[in-house]
Chain A
């Protein structure tokens, strides 16, 4: 007796789902994860990869199966069955993708929230501790005409804010130009061509561009933000693994775009303080909140 085709379909479907889940769990396609954001990103990737695998194998399987099973045998000039449609079936394959897509959307919204993507960027308190610092640097930043912003604090147009409070956040000003990134640490008045950050401490990059649009990307952090002339942006992250990772410009910015790279060095806390001390010009460090815990107590 033949096995009923519905049963076969059911079994095939279950095998497919299991294969998809297994592949999603076990395929390693991403670089090292070195920020708090990266593991969260990787779990989203896994979910998307599983769903994608199930769909792709399922559809390719159907196409290949049809091509073999229903191929026209030589000499057979007859037609197939005259089936013009099937409403319940159509409802099923409208509803299932709709539900999957809705689920994926909500899930990725949740992830985005956890990354700090929904933090209000122009929240005054979040920026408060650094008002003095920003004042110093706004002179060079192009001011957007007509925006009724308070004092000298330029409007932040976009980016990923830090979700935890500003306490203990290390601010760094980033200037992108053809074809380099310049990093300036307002707390120590350090200027550097490489980004040095301590492990496990939130960092806030305040970014502006001098000439054309650039983009700041660290693949190991899974973060990217355009750096836009005339529109300051921010990018917050917390590094979790000491090491050196590439900083890559990801927006076409001219002939040497491919060479516009730098390095972010993530130090252990001690090593970072040493680097900071060594590079800070010998002058009293302004007593801002952020700099207090940067000063190692002897």
Chain B
């Protein structure tokens, strides 16, 4: 094995052992993965508290809870924290680092040191961002989109710190992306073919390609923006001949792919979880792979659907409508394949499965509103309203966050060697699902009927529905309690899991729980059929047969 491994670099004794290693510059991909995960959750709670401020302000139609400036700071921080410090680091960094080396049969990532650097960029960037709230003038106030000229005229220090922080996080993301690409393509165990990899590898390959292609564009754009702020250049300043719409093009050239950076890994994780708890092979492996690649390619050419009401000429509006609508096709394929994976299985109704199914339902809803938003005439009415807020929360929360919870329930036994409590888990699911839908469904109506987004005050006729939405948010906050209790209590007193409690076939389960430093004692297993569940079709009992017949038209 020529793979760089932690022990190659660090003489024994220099690195802290035991729990202290989680606070160190560890090079072990599993330690780094958990570092990402826990850090991500800390920022999730901070971002959640900020959301609490927003929802409290919106329980009344007048601006009465925080000042208007503070409100804009809070909504900017909320968006930035949730995207750059929670979703992206967790679905990419945390699960990617933990799982990818297992899946390719390696003992660590391709560049362990770069990996540790990528993680350790995150805490300072996050602290910087939060701290900007306390500097003179406060944090950035121009939303996570930071459109100029607003971002040029709001208090400068907060905006510059925001840029710095996002640059650091973008850098971390690029380092991670390079590492994943190298690991998946170059560190595969001899004998393991690309088309035998678990689906999460494909998802991470696609995601990392998007990261590497689009994040540098964001970085460049933000650097130009900071020049405009600090050095009074005029790239995006119309008073100096700059063009504000160019900023929007550059920003969305990154930020639309960013939404797939947030959701493709979740697609991959669900593809790992469903077959195991349904006891069936993943349906349509090949089409799943190609649909990921199609999403990557299409995802790069749809960005202007965020700009239908700004300075885009008619032909451009048309092109981006069609391109955006077509993303629904590969996305649809993935959903039908998951449904077919469930069909005729032996579904364990545990927390991992429930959160995964919650993901399917929520994401389909968000996808439907997404295709509607892609239609220019439709979008012109609801752009920049609560309808859009509802759309992307259905995708990012109802989709990705649900998958993160499903993944924690699924892999916690591997991380810790102990099971989570299923009753608390199901309670967590129920509260989250109800709270989430209560919070975001009414926002569709609000947007359609005249409530713009990013406002601290609104038409009094919208009060009731805003209060319903806030109650939903409160439920979501409460729903994290059973989760937190579960995670902490189970770490010490949970039922022992054993190495492979789910009887799974993917390589991370073919070692101890938690796994040893170099993943396997002895040689890495060669898993060529990661989804080889199910009894051969000859031996089907009658109860299953009626369901399976549907797919085969009785031809079987």
Residues of A in contact with B (beta carbons under 8 Å apart): 4-6, 9, 29-31, 40-41, 44-45, 48, 51-52, 55-56, 59-60, 62-63, 66-67, 69-72, 76, 78-86, 89-90, 93-94, 97-98, 101-102, 104-105, 108-109, 111-112, 115, 117-121, 142, 144-145, 157-158, 160, 211-213, 215, 217, 219, 222-226, 228-231, 233, 246, 248-259
Q: Any chain A CB within 8 A of the CB of B284?
A: yes
Q: Tell me if B450 and A248 are in contact (CB < 8 A).
A: yes
Min Cβ gap A123→B in Å is 12
Please, how many angstroms separate the alpha-carbon atoms of A4 and B548 in the complex? Answer: 13
Min Cβ gap B317→A in Å is 7
Please, how many angstroms separate the alpha-carbon atoms of A215 and B357 in the complex? Answer: 39
Query: Given the complex, which residues of A lie within 8 Å of B546, measured CB to CB?
Result: 5
Interface size on B, residues (CB 8 A): 110
Query: Given the complex, which residues of A lie within 8 Å of B333, measured CB to CB?
Result: 90, 93-94, 97
Q: Tell me if A82 and B309 are in contact (CB < 8 A).
A: no
Please, how many angstroms separate the alpha-carbon atoms of A97 and B153 in the complex? Answer: 45
> Given known contacts A94-B329, A112-B318, A252-B142, what 19 new A-B pairs fall within 8 Å (CB)?
A56-B364, A67-B342, A67-B357, A72-B349, A84-B281, A85-B283, A89-B340, A89-B551, A90-B287, A94-B333, A101-B325, A105-B325, A158-B311, A213-B310, A219-B449, A230-B238, A231-B238, A250-B452, A255-B67
Q: Tell me if A48 and B375 are in contact (CB < 8 A).
A: yes
Q: Tell me if B278 and A80 are in contact (CB < 8 A).
A: yes
Contact check: which of B63, B150, B369 meets A252 at CB < 8 Å? B150
- Known A59-B360, A70-B547, A219-B450: A82·B281 in contact at CB below 8 Å: yes
Please, how many angstroms separate the alpha-carbon atoms of A132 and B385 in the complex? Answer: 37
Interface residues of B in 337-358 (CB under 8 A from A): 337, 339-340, 342-349, 353, 357
Q: Jot down 28 A-B pairs with beta carbons below 8 A, ordered by A.
A: A6-B550, A30-B448, A31-B449, A52-B372, A66-B339, A69-B547, A70-B344, A70-B347, A71-B347, A71-B348, A72-B349, A79-B535, A80-B278, A84-B531, A85-B287, A90-B284, A93-B333, A94-B333, A105-B322, A111-B377, A115-B377, A119-B314, A144-B241, A223-B381, A224-B384, A231-B245, A233-B311, A250-B384
Q: Tell me if B321 and A228 are in contact (CB < 8 A).
A: no
Which A-chain residue is minimally distant from B145 (CB atoms)?
Answer: A252
Min Cβ gap B541→A in Å is 8
Q: Tell me if B378 and A225 are in contact (CB < 8 A).
A: no
Q: Tell me if B452 and A249 are in contact (CB < 8 A).
A: yes
Q: Tell me if B329 and A98 are in contact (CB < 8 A).
A: yes
Q: Tell me if B284 and A254 are in contact (CB < 8 A).
A: no
Interface residues of B in 483-535 (CB under 8 A from A): 531-535
Of the candidate stretches B35-43, B197-205, B424-432, B454-462, the one touching chain A is B454-462
Please, how many angstroms separate the alpha-carbon atoms of A130 and B491 in the complex? Answer: 74
Min Cβ gap A271→B in Å is 25
Q: Tell me if B328 and A82 are in contact (CB < 8 A).
A: no
Please, how many angstroms separate the alpha-carbon atoms of A62 and B360 in the complex? Answer: 11
Q: Tell me if B452 and A80 are in contact (CB < 8 A).
A: no
The 10 closest A-B pairs by CB, nearest first: A82-B534, A230-B238, A258-B455, A80-B345, A255-B68, A108-B375, A219-B450, A80-B280, A258-B457, A79-B279
- Known A84-B285, A112-B377, A224-B383: A231·B311 in contact at CB below 8 Å: yes
Query: Given the complex, which residues of A lie within 8 Å of B348, measured CB to CB?
Result: 71-72
Q: Tell me if A97 and B310 are in contact (CB < 8 A).
A: no
- Known A59-B335, A97-B329, A142-B239: A83·B344 in contact at CB below 8 Å: yes
Query: Given the complex, which residues of B lie within 8 Å of A257, measured CB to CB?
Result: 72, 452, 454-455
Query: Given the complex, which residues of A lie within 8 Å of B552, measured CB to CB?
Result: 86
Which B-chain residue is minimally distant from A256 (CB atoms)?
Answer: B68
Which B-chain residue is minimally distant from A55 (CB atoms)?
Answer: B368
Please, how many angstroms separate the alpha-carbon atoms of A121 and B544 in the complex? Answer: 62
Q: Tell me if B360 and A104 are in contact (CB < 8 A).
A: no
Query: Given the complex, which residues of A lie within 8 Å of B383, measured CB to CB?
Result: 215, 224, 250
Contact check: which of A41, A56, A70, A258 meets B368 at CB < 8 Å? A56
Q: Any chain A CB within 8 A of the CB of B13?
A: no
Which B-chain residue is minimally distant from A108 (CB atoms)?
Answer: B375
Query: Given the complex, which residues of B lie within 8 Å of A117, measured CB to CB?
Result: 314, 317, 376-377
